[in-house]
Amino acid sequence: MPNNRQFKIDPSAVKVDGALYHYPFLQLAEATLAVNISGIAIHFIDLCADVFNDRMNHPRLTAPQKMYLIDTLAMVNKEMNRLRKLFFEAVDTSREAITAEQTVSDELLNNVSASSRGLAITARELVDKLYPLCGLIAASTETEINRAWRDLHTASQHALLTFSS
């Protein structure tokens, strides 16, 4: 490669400090992906609530079907909030350890990994539980809800989050 197309960083000249620079890359990557995936899932869930509200006016929807939509949406929101709480607790605990000691135990890192993977996988599963209840609007590529569904399924394909362990 020609000299004008390369560079060399002198490791002794580069000095970075701060907890983030001591945080293990694997857990940083897992947590970053999981929080983004859960954010997309929350966006989908919010859009789903709007779709469900519109569907409540459909004359062929029975009272038990309406209750099923309401109950399923409530369950999904409750589970997402529960998993996000566990995830943020794991990340915060590991961040506090690395800030105080510039190191973090394997136990805390394993907890970050498990909660990241659990959040990402379950977020996708919960969205997939809601998707067929939205009707054809969710399948229309011109809608925001379909875009959120596609974004979630694209982001959740990352190899780091494919398996729960």
Q: What is the CATH number of the domain that holds 76?
A: 1.20.140.10
The two structure tokens encoding residue 81: 């909030």
119, 125, 128, 130: CA torsion to nearest 10: -70
Judge whether 156 lies within some domain.
yes
Residue 95 is predicted with a pLDDT of 94
Judge whether 16 lies within some domain.
no
Q: Is the pLDDT of residue 64 over 70?
A: yes
For the chain, how big is the Rg over CA atoms in Å? Answer: 21
Kindly state the percentage of the chain with pLDDT values over 70. Answer: 94
Report the domain count for the chain: 1
Judge whether 130 lies within some domain.
yes
How far CA 116 is from CA of 16, 108, 132, 163, in Å, comes to 26, 12, 26, 11
| 18 Ramachandran zone, left/alpha/beta (phi>0; psi -120 to 50) | left
39, 42, 46, 49: CA torsion to nearest 10: 160
Domain around 64: 25-161
What is the DSSP-derived secondary structure letter of residue 56?
Answer: T
Judge whether 4 lies within some domain.
no
What's the mean pLDDT when you consider all of the chain? 91
Judge whether 7 lies within some domain.
no
